[in-house]
A and B are shown apart, each in its own frame.
Chain A
Amino acid sequence: MLNPISLAFKKAKKEKRPALLTYTVAGDSSKKQSLNILKAISNYVDILEVGIPHNTPVADGGQIQTSAYRAIKNGIKMNDIFKIVSDFKKSKNSKPVIFMGYYNMIFQYGENNFLNKCKKSGVNGLIVVDLPWPENKIFSKKCKENSINFIQLLSPTTSNKRLKSITKDSHDMIYYISMLSTTGGKLKVSPKKILANYDKIKKISPKKNCVIGFGITEKNVSNFKNTDGLVVGSQICKEITRSLNNRQNPVINVSKMVSKLRNKIS
């Protein structure tokens, strides 16, 4: 039986489009609101990445930092984040959920406790930004034993040799970082170049679902129609910030934005 993440990719492929993945920070700007955002965008999205906010994020740009600091300031705790996911999973129209965060939050919770709780809440995958290969070998194995997809990251600096080893150790999904940048940077590399690297990965590992993230926005998303999947994060976080500043409802605005994104790749 296919796991829910692979199933989501399969479904998108059938519809001849890339899977759409979104990233929002749990607890931004409140527990309730972040849950409502997940529920609202779930209609248009194939897989939802839920960010675990951390206050020393070494790979996140300004937009996601702002969202994370806002969530932490509003008192979000690890157990609340699990609750958000399990509530979301109970809603109709729920989709697969991937946690994205920094290793210290997992380390403090205890790896085994964390994975148990993930399973109970319905988390389907994990992206740990600062636990690269081969440091993640043991943990990713543990994830697999718990039927949780550990998603390996690849970047333009990843050597071919490394690429082979990492994809070999990866589960069903891999994540290609489009360029040298923190999240939310302006796309400083041509889509052509990004796609060339993407093709290289697919050639080495044709069966794995490879998504592209970092710098993907409404403006450039249509360049990547022939890929397995695309992640949009910072643009959504930015929209939440903009809505709050303008005293508008982020749930409505974000959901409009995501529906537009979906149209552009369909």
Chain B
Amino acid sequence: MKLKKGIPVIDQGDRLGFWGGKFGGNFVPETLKKPIEDLEIQFNKLKNDKNFIKERDRYFKNWIGTPTRFIKLNNLTKYVGGAQIWSKVVSDANGGAHKIYNATVHCLMAKRSGKKVIIGDTGAGYAGKMLSMAAKKFGLKCKIFMGAKDIKRQQPNVKAMKENGADVIPVYSGSQTLVDAVSECMRYWVANCDTTAMCVGSTVGPAIFVRICGWSTSQISRELKVQLINEFGDVPKKLKLYNCVGGGSSSFGFWNEFMDYDKKQVEFIGVEAGGPTKSKRHAAPLTYGSKIGILHGAAQYVNQNRDGQIEETESISAGLDYPGISPLHCFLKDTKRARYTAASDEEALKAYQIVTKYENLRPSLEPSHAFSVAIKEAKRFSKDTIVIINSCGDAYKDRGILEKKLGKKYVKSN
């Protein structure tokens, strides 16, 4: 299995949509073959259409507010005492997370194809919130599928979705989290694909959704590359990019522009959700050696039992609480381009405390996982190593959990 240079990773799949011959694909009911094919044709055309790119960039700039900041975390660097620690503050984006890029692109495409309704899944509520924002912006009706457990633990985002006029549909089946929300959303699409567009909230699902999402979030690394050159004159000789990985949309977007660099120069570190220390459950299929299976239309490493039933996950962060992982990351893992590890619930909370203590930055629980590993590893690195953490979400949505776990002061003081 080999990663090709000079070809975008999203375009390295084979005729049937498999990366490396075995990850991804289209394991979908016959009914979805046609809408998926339509979407493929539309996307392949639009991604090379200068007018569409212009339109996208205009919305990215004027509405999402690109570029997001790239800042040095001076106090944290001093506290850790090793590499220089920086952050790409993607949570600056309109709505507070990277999910806005994919949502915007899907809505632009839905509008062009004459669809009136767009549906989407959500875990932490960001994908849903952003889709509801974009749908409102582009005059589309919006339905968001969300696990009942996630609705309870991510109330601020649920409120935002409703305020944007979206229907939030609670999903009570299975573990009542993201995995069930995606299943229910796909089921709804099966029944309504003639009138309705679907946005999958991460780089997961049938191959075309993986590609559209990866293409959209790559905005993050496009900006970062420019910012690095402005700051250092060139891409630094020792660069390490840390990102949390749930479905894998923010990390893929954070890395994409640097794919062709030697990994000795630009290393990618993906941090999965290890779950509570005391629990056997986790959401880290790459770290803990899960087997390849089929989930939501794609072959990927996925937590499952011997028979092939998908296993329940457990993580403090709803956005990472997913048993599978993007086929793109399976591909990056097996080609050894990226390295994957996990942080536990407790480690993520600790990292959140450290970051908020030293910096005027408030990463949500998802990027707190990445901060945890970055802080640990940065100690060992030389001073000319540049460590960058993608702070891809804001902790506002987590205030209920943070208050419960850490006490009121961590919510109020921030």
Q: Which of A11-19, A57-65, A218-226 lies at the interface?
A: A57-65
The distance from the CB of B112 to the nearest CB of chain A, in whole angstroms, is 20
Q: Which positions 85-138 of chain A face chain B at CB distance < 8 Å? A: 102-105, 107-109, 129-135
A58 touches B308 (CB 8 A): no
The distance from the CB of A109 to the nearest CB of chain B, in whole angstroms, is 7
Given contacts A105-B307, A185-B191, contact A158 B30 (CB under 8 A): yes
Of the residues B186, B294, B306, contact of A103 by C-beta under 8 Å = B294
The distance from the CB of A241 to the nearest CB of chain B, in whole angstroms, is 14
Q: Which of A34-42, A175-183, A197-205, A246-254 lies at the interface?
A: A175-183
B33 touches A107 (CB 8 A): no
Determine which residue in A56, A102, A135 has the highest number of CB atoms from chain B within 10 A of its CB, and name it.
A56
B293 touches A135 (CB 8 A): no
B173 touches A108 (CB 8 A): no
Complex CA distance for A65 and B173, rounded to whole angstroms:
8
Q: A58-B297, A155-B31, A177-B31 are in contact. List 4 more A-B contacts (CB 8 A).
A: A58-B187, A65-B173, A157-B34, A177-B30
Of the residues A54, A157, A158, A185, contact of B193 by C-beta under 8 Å = A157
Complex CA distance for A69 and B278, rounded to whole angstroms:
27
A78 at the interface (CB under 8 A from B): yes
Of the residues B30, B295, B297, contact of A155 by C-beta under 8 Å = B30
A104 touches B294 (CB 8 A): yes
- Which B residues touch A109, using CB under 8 A? 307-308
B28 touches A182 (CB 8 A): no
- Which A residues touch B194, using CB under 8 A? 157, 180
- Which A residues touch B179, using CB under 8 A? 56
The distance from the CB of A78 to the nearest CB of chain B, in whole angstroms, is 5
- Which A residues touch B308, using CB under 8 A? 54, 78, 104-105, 107-109
- Which B residues touch A59, using CB under 8 A? 29, 31, 187, 190
- Which A residues touch B297, using CB under 8 A? 58, 130
Q: B52-90 interface mask toward A, CB cutoff 8 Å, 1 = contact, 0 = none?
A: 000000000000000000000000000000000000000
- Which A residues touch B43, using CB under 8 A? none
- Which B residues touch A144, using CB under 8 A? none
Residues of A that sit less than 8 Å from B by CB: 54-61, 65, 69, 72, 77-78, 102-105, 107-109, 129-135, 153-159, 162, 177, 180-182, 185
A153 touches B30 (CB 8 A): yes
The 8 closest A-B pairs by CB, nearest first: A108-B308, A157-B34, A104-B294, A155-B31, A104-B308, A59-B29, A153-B30, A130-B27
- Which B residues touch A105, using CB under 8 A? 307-308
A180 touches B192 (CB 8 A): yes
- Which B residues touch A108, using CB under 8 A? 291, 293, 304, 306-308
B294 touches A130 (CB 8 A): yes
B183 at the interface (CB under 8 A from A): yes
B174 at the interface (CB under 8 A from A): yes
- Which A residues touch B193, using CB under 8 A? 157, 180
Given contacts A56-B310, A69-B174, A130-B297, contact A135 B30 (CB under 8 A): no
B379 at the interface (CB under 8 A from A): no
The distance from the CB of B38 to the nearest CB of chain A, in whole angstroms, is 10
Q: Is the interface of A mostly helix, strand, loop or mixed?
A: loop
Complex CA distance for A153 and B173, rounded to whole angstroms:
26
Identify the closest chain A residue to B195 (Cβ): A180
- Which B residues touch A134, using CB under 8 A? 16
Identify the closest chain B residue to A79 (Cβ): B307
- Which B residues touch A61, using CB under 8 A? 187
Identify the closest chain B residue to A61 (Cβ): B187
Identify the closest chain A residue to B31 (Cβ): A155
- Which A residues touch B34, using CB under 8 A? 157-159, 162
- Which A residues touch B29, using CB under 8 A? 58-59, 129-130, 132, 153, 155, 177
Complex CA distance for A60 and B30, rounded to whole angstroms:
13
- Which A residues touch B27, using CB under 8 A? 103, 130-131, 135
- Which A residues touch B31, using CB under 8 A? 59, 155-157, 177, 180
Complex CA distance for A54 and B193, rounded to whole angstroms:
23
B277 at the interface (CB under 8 A from A): no
Complex CA distance for A133 and B190, rounded to whole angstroms:
17
- Which B residues touch A69, using CB under 8 A? 173-174
Of the residues A72, A77, A132, contact of B33 by C-beta under 8 Å = A132
The distance from the CB of A29 to the nearest CB of chain B, in whole angstroms, is 17
B35 at the interface (CB under 8 A from A): yes
B33 touches A157 (CB 8 A): yes
B319 at the interface (CB under 8 A from A): no
A58 touches B183 (CB 8 A): yes
